[in-house]
Chain A
């Protein structure tokens, strides 16, 4: 029994962490967060050079051939830094194509995604919160027409994996005729989203799309959970730091037991989730019997705790915490994304209860 990250995974986390510290320090993050596109193309280039774009893509297609746990470790670090990047949609598109593409389809798309020259994303949500493969209604065909909402980094993408009726998946090149994108006024400005309208847009169905859609969902849930773990860890650290520097009544506020207990409770909402996100990611490759349930449990639990930690972090920062100027708000909105993307905690709790045959 060795329930721990490997040295390689720790190294990935460290090198990704220091890359983000250098290239996305908080003042730069604020510029991007407040900027027009919510993106920094140079950062994506650096991430791609580090191999993040092709982390879980097979080495035959130019990727690093690693596992979902490695993706999750990267997601944790990106969440910790609130990093603006097309990572989430990109790696999910790659996971879907790898799991569901024919050999020919994989050869066609994966090498470009592995280098990061092509940017992928996923278009899943339909009206009334239909995120799940069982709920998609968009008609599957060589050309598709309809609407997908909340597509992350849609305008940065070159291709999108689209959820279709009967739980199928298709690939649409973003710049084809018949695809229009309109930015969603999303809260999380580190991960912008688009409303995508397809009007007879050319679409190529993935050979084993149905199976791939289930894996895509699970991995998406796991990556939200990992991002949330990293983000909540950062908010805890920011709040502790603030309590050690902010003075009132002649002492730092960290002297007061009320603050200590609030921060201890926040820590209790963060640290125990590390092992849960690890296992939920590990299960996707090694524990198929548990993969579905634990993905939903981890997503529901950890994103819910992230949201709570974010609320506590605002409070811990006092009046400042409620301002746009305070960095906490960026992670607060990251938490809103992680919580609602791919379905809310209560939806995933219902799913995990159903899967348990309770």
Chain B
């Protein structure tokens, strides 16, 4: 066991650190107009790509920096960038989900056309997976795609589509082979959102704001070759996972800063006329929470180590989402108690990810922690995965009936 990064990596850290130091924030030239934050961020990203610090797994011809996979370097870059609050990779669903899929399964022209503008943020995407009748059982989806001449004509409905109201394009799963079995009848299509056949209606979340939508597709059209992979391969394509520089410690860093935020809240709040942090029960609850947070942190270290040496950390990989979800519930639960009567307030206008320590930010977090438990596989689905794939218990009988697992 050796928790240092080694001298070569410490040299790399120095290099990254001094790069960030001298490039962020972008300094305006005296007497000239101040550069907007967005402009500064994109200037900084260009320089960081040039140095090989961002979009490391993306080939240069598509706008990436094409570096060999190195999880330790990737981790050092994340640490040094976040230390100075410098802009990291744009984290849209297009960058996170579509780009890796295209790089692995896409046609050359698709990569040419879509990858660069997606990572620069010029093109934004939404993900058309869930349907009203197909949640955890996603492969039962019913939205139909029919080839008419040179075009796919798509009819159906998608739901929980985050960002659909702002997205330029959608990548979606559509049933194109109605005769084929459940999983083998699905194709992965790309679709222009700005067309008459698409109707986006916002859904209001329990927090009061609207990030996700229903998307109705009525004879929506897309060119025949806007398909990733072959017809009927969509299920497999959607499960493409690249050997990426997986952000394994990232989640643990988030729970650590959540704990730190909570301690700060306890220091600033009062209970019975004394700082809440002095309250024995609050101290106990924070300490219980810290046990989980530390376990999360060192599990992240284990993943990072195994990723770096091409090993497998095992069942812990299946647990990280559920584990951080449960920590999130504890964090926001304690926060609600610290807020006392301010827990009567609404979630206000706080947005997800805002690090505000105001009451309404915590209340929004209290609600969002449930959204996180549901999005991308509910907690109960995670438990099934741990039990079936991790512990080797029998697969669910109903799931067994469906082919193409």
Binding site for B on A (CB under 8 A): 1-6, 69, 240, 243-244, 251-252, 254-255, 257, 259-261, 263-265, 267-268, 271-276, 278-279, 282, 286-287, 294, 297-298, 300-302, 304, 346, 349-350, 352-353, 356, 358
Contacts and interface: CB of A to CB of B under 8 A. Distances in A.
Nearest to B382: A264
Given A272-B299, A279-B298, A3 B393 contact: no
A240 B390 CA distance: 11
Given A3-B3, A297-B291, A260 B316 contact: no
Nearest to B326: A268
A260 B306 CA distance: 27
B392 interface: yes
Contacts of B292: 272, 301
B394 A274 contact: no
Contacts of B3: 1-3, 282, 286-287
Contacts of A264: 322, 382-384, 386-387, 390-391
A2 B386 contact: no
Contacts of B323: 268, 272
Contacts of A1: 2-6, 9, 72, 75, 301, 304-305, 308
B4 A267 contact: no
Given A1-B4, A3-B3, A267 B290 contact: no
Interface in B365-405: 380, 382-384, 386-388, 390-394, 396-397
What's the dominant secondary structure at chain A's contact region?
helix
B393 A263 contact: yes
B298 A278 contact: yes
A271 B301 CA distance: 13
Given A349-B283, A353-B283, A358-B277, A3 B301 contact: yes
Contact of B283 (A251, A282, A300, A358): A358
B1 A282 contact: yes
Contact of B286 (A2, A286, A294, A358): A358
B284 A301 contact: no
B305 A2 contact: yes
Interface of B: 1-6, 9, 72, 75, 263, 266-267, 277, 280, 283-284, 286-288, 290-292, 294-299, 301-302, 304-306, 308-309, 314-316, 319, 322-323, 326, 380, 382-384, 386-388, 390-394, 396-397
A254 B386 CA distance: 13
B63 to A, nearest CB: 30
Given A240-B393, A252-B394, A3 B284 contact: no
B391 A3 contact: no
Contacts of A251: 394
A51 B322 CA distance: 40
A295 to B, nearest CB: 12
A301 B295 contact: yes
A289 to B, nearest CB: 13
A260 B388 contact: yes
B1 A267 contact: no
A353 B72 contact: no
Contacts of A275: 295, 297-299, 301-302
B298 A3 contact: yes
A267 B391 CA distance: 8
Contacts of A298: 291, 294
Contact of B1 (A4, A268, A297, A356): A4
A238 B326 CA distance: 25
Contacts of A356: 263
A267 B284 contact: no
Contacts of A261: 380, 383-384, 387
